[in-house]
Each structure stands twice: as C-alpha cells, then as structure tokens.
Amino acid sequence: MPHRRTLSSLLLGAAAALPLSTHAAPGYRYEPVVLVPFTPGQGSGVAKMINNSGTICGTASGSPGAFCWRDGRLIALQPLPGDEYAEPESINEKGEVVGSSYDVDTDRRRAVVFVDGAAHELPVAVHASSTAMDINDAGDIVGSYSDRLGDAMAYVIRQGTVRDLGTLGQTVRASVGAGIDNRGQVVGSSTTDQATPFGQFRVLAFSDRRDTLTALPTPPEHSSHAARVNARGQTVGFIERDNGGAEGYRAVLWDADGMHVLSDLPSDARGINNRGQVVGSVQTAPGGFLYEPGKGSHNLNDLIDPAAGLTFVYPQAINERGQIVGYGCQGESCGPMLLDPVGD
C-alpha cells in the first residue's frame, strides 16, 4: 500500500523545499509557485484563499486537514477539541480565517473563526450543523446553519450578534450565505416558491442590503448561485439550466447593469477583486479562467510559461494584486499553487 502523506509530514518538509517558483519567459503574465510538496492525487491539498498581504490558506489530506502559508512558513489550523478536522473558507486582511471544525464520525460541522491557528466557536455553533463562509475586515461573518438535515438558514454575525437572513420562498425555508463585502453587503442563494418541471424548487442568488433580501437577475428556466461580492457590489457565481447537469453551468457576474455571462464553457466563478478581475473553474478543461473587464476571459494555462512543466487545474481566489491561488499539477503530482503576476 502506498504511503499517504499527512499534513503534519508536509509541514515538516516544506521549509527546506519551498517555495518553488519558475520565472516566466517574456510574454507570459504569471509565474507559478508550488506552495507545498506535490503528491500523487490531491493529498497535498488545495489553496482556497489569499489576502492582500499574501497569506494563503487551504486544505490537505490527513488531520487537521487545513493550513495557512506565509513567506514559506506553514501553520496548521487546529480544530475544536473533540474534532479531528478543520476546513477554512475565507480570510480577511487581519489574517482572521473562518470556516468549520468537524469530525467524520459525528458528521457535525461547527462554524469557527481561526485566530493564530486555533479554532474558536461562533455563536451559531450551537446548531446541529453550521459553517462560516466569508469574513470582512470589520470581522462581520456570513454563513449558514441547520437544525435538521437539509433545512439550512443563511446568517450574518455583526459585533457578536447573529441575524437570520431569511429566504426568498415560503414553501421550503432554505438559504445559504456565501460572501460579504466591507460595506456589509451579503450575497448567497435561496430556495424560492418557483417549481421547476422536474419536481424541484428553483434556487436564486440574492443580495442583502439594509436587511432586505433581493433576488439577482436570473434567466428563465435557470437557477443561480452567488459566491463572492467585492467592494463595488459586483457579485460572481454561476447559473445552471434546469436539469442541465454540469454542462448547463455558466460563470456569471452581476453588477448595476444586470447579469453577464463570463464564459461560453461549462464553468463557475469563484473569486473577484475590486478591479473586477474574476477567476473561476471550467468543468471541461484544466486551467479555469481569468476574466478582466474589457478584455474578456482567458484560460490561465495560456498565461503561464509551459516550459515550467506545471499545469494550473483550477483557481479559487484572487486578491487586489492579481495573485491567484488554487490547484495545480506537475506530471502526476498535484497540490496547492499560487500564480504570481510577472513583475509584481
């Protein structure tokens, strides 16, 4: 049986080996950086978030299952006592990380904030299951919790006070909070009372401003899901055609002019910065995409030097410097990868 490397073993070996950065040849916009030693499969993890100071956090196999990386130093994110695993979802400029703590035996998740690597329960952790999805620089947090399997409710925490965001429908009371900006605007998705021809209720992306839930523009015969929002109120996510499967997904951006499709390929948008640069995954090809206003979308592998021998598989987030994090491979070995803009 092949040896399965845990996060602990990666932490011990990382300092001597990394980061591995390849200098891009002229004409290529990004330099790929390997953050921890790659392993076959997804054992060495995925980089999920990056703030403007360059702190990166992500997940890896083995206990505790989560890490943050800064200037070549790895810090394990520790779950709550009694749990075995931690999963980060977002980081703010103070370095505060939110996500969940869980144990596979109980299958219960508890929303937490990680401070200096240690997990602290959030007020919604008393529910049967909960997770925190995003945090802004003021420390406001958005996520969802459930008291019964399948019945989720979006929430926002401001100054320690929890407020339920409600839903866009009355038949099924279910919603998910996904992103929050520094003005406190929240985005997510909610079930509605619109029935699809396939016996389901349609889900619509929403924006919450001044305690009012508003559905974002969505084409007929589609559901929609919001993922992140920037300081300009631009929101990214994806739409999905009724009963269309993965082929029916399209990455989208919502702004004051309505909804804009970012890729003609099956895709979803996962991150946006205040310049309006968007990154997301493409279901049918590696590389994902980078969308820039006025320039359209480009496969990220077209923007890095192939001589590096590295393939970017999909992105997860982008910061204000244009740094992109996600998942990449070198041959059969894969793991968390950073794309650094050339000349930055």
Would you say residue 3 has pLDDT above 80? no
What are the domain boundaries of the chain?
77-164
* Closest CA relative to residue 306, chosen from 25, 8, 20, 9: 25
pLDDT for 269-326, tens place per residue?
Answer: 999 999 999 999 999 888 999 999 999 999 999 999 999 999 999 999 999 999 999 9
Tokens of 169: 């429908």
CA angle 329, 297, 23 (to 5 degrees): 45
Q: CB atoms < 10 A from the CB of 319, how many? A: 22
**What's the confidence (pLDDT) of residue 106?**
85
pLDDT for 183-235, tens place per residue?
Answer: 999 999 999 999 998 888 999 999 998 778 999 999 999 999 999 999 999 99
Average pLDDT value for the chain: 90
| 3-state secondary structure string across the chain | CCCCCCHHHHHHHHHHHCCEECCCCCCCCEEEEECCCCEEECCCCEEEEECCCCCEEEECCCCCCEEEEECCEEEECECCCCCCEEEEEEECCCCCEEEEEEECCCCEEEEEEEECCEEEECHHHHCCEEEEEEECCCCCEEEEEEEECCEEEEEEEECCEEEECCCCCCCCCCEEEEEECCCCCEEEEEEEEEECCCCCEEEEEEEEECCEEEECCCCCCEEEEEEEECCCCCEEEEEEECCCHHHHEEEEEEECCEEEECCCCCEEEEEECCCCCEEEEECCCCCCEEEECCCEEEEHHHHECHHHCCEEEEEEEECCCCCEEEEEEECCEEEEEEEEECCC
Residue 289's Cβ-count burial label (10 Å; 0-12, 13-18, 19+) is buried
Confidence at 243, pLDDT banded by 50, 70, 90:
confident
**What's the confidence (pLDDT) of residue 1?**
34
pLDDT for 83-132, tens place per residue?
Answer: 999 999 999 999 999 999 999 888 889 999 999 899 999 999 999 999 99
pLDDT for 59-79, tens place per residue?
Answer: 988 889 999 998 778 899 999
